Amino acid sequence: MRSALWLVAAAALVAGCGGDDGDRLAADDLPQAPAALRLSSPGFSDGSRLPKRYTCDGAGEEPPVQAGTVPTSTSELVLVVSDPDAPGGTYVHVTRYGISPRGDGSVDHGGPEGRNSAGEIGWTAPCPPEGDAAHRYTWSVYALRDATGLDAGAEPGEVAAALRKGVLAGGTITARYGR
């Protein structure tokens, strides 16, 4: 019984640390935005080390992220959190879409969530392989002219394709984490 529990726990850990049941993105899958959004987080500064509490080595919480002022013609915001340094292609930690541009600017909640690269819906905490150089984790937010129309559980590639249909503005904030 004890070894069966250990195997289940190990499988869960691998899934959160780069398991490959879902889509990954190519470097050019996410669009360039014609205007800039200013992103911020009370949990970390752009370019800093990601605090352990937001990783698989801590509580695995999703850090709060806020988008600044968005264009008035924005119909929805889309969030993509990714690791471009993951082996095998850009690993997606969460996609969230249908976020109201009229709220408080928070993009870490609200709106349907898509599948991540672990093949699960929702957030998966950063968990780079031990011994790797620190990975970059990028929170990208896009202001869209038209709604994506995506249902919950969309694959990362579907979210990336929906972004190509009218990005008004976008912004990123990045943190690094290594084990």
Q: What is the pLDDT of residues 3-43, one digit of tens each?
A: 433 333 333 334 344 555 568 776 566 767 666 899 999 99
In the chain, how many domains are there?
1
Dihedral angle sign, alpha carbons of residues 131, 132, 134, 136 = negative
Cα 56 from Cα 34, distance rounded (Å): 35
pLDDT at 25: 72
CA distances from 67 to 99, 105, 142, 167 (A): 11, 5, 9, 15
Query: In CATH, what number is assigned to the domain containing residue 151?
Result: 3.90.280.10
Q: Does residue 11 or residue 98 have the better pLDDT?
A: 98
Give the burial string for 23-55 (b: 16+ CB within 10 Å, else e).
Answer: bbbeeebbbebeeebebbbebbeeeeebeeebb
pLDDT at 81: 97
Residue 136 identity: R
pLDDT at 11: 37
Mean per-residue pLDDT over the chain, rounded: 87
pLDDT at 32: 72
Domain ranges, residue 114: 2-177
CA distances from 71 to 35, 82, 110, 122, 147 (A): 9, 24, 19, 27, 14
Q: Which two tokens stand for residue 107?
A: 């993009």
Closest-CA residue to 63 (of 84, 86, 39, 87): 39
Q: What is the pTM of this model?
A: 0.84
**In the predicted model, is pLDDT for residue 53 greater than 50?**
yes
What element of type H or E holds 141? strand 135-144
List helix spans (H) across the chain: 2-16, 156-163
Cα 28 from Cα 160, distance rounded (Å): 10
CB-CB contact of 94 with 66 (8 Å): no
pLDDT at 3: 41
**In the predicted model, is pLDDT for residue 159 greater than 60?**
yes
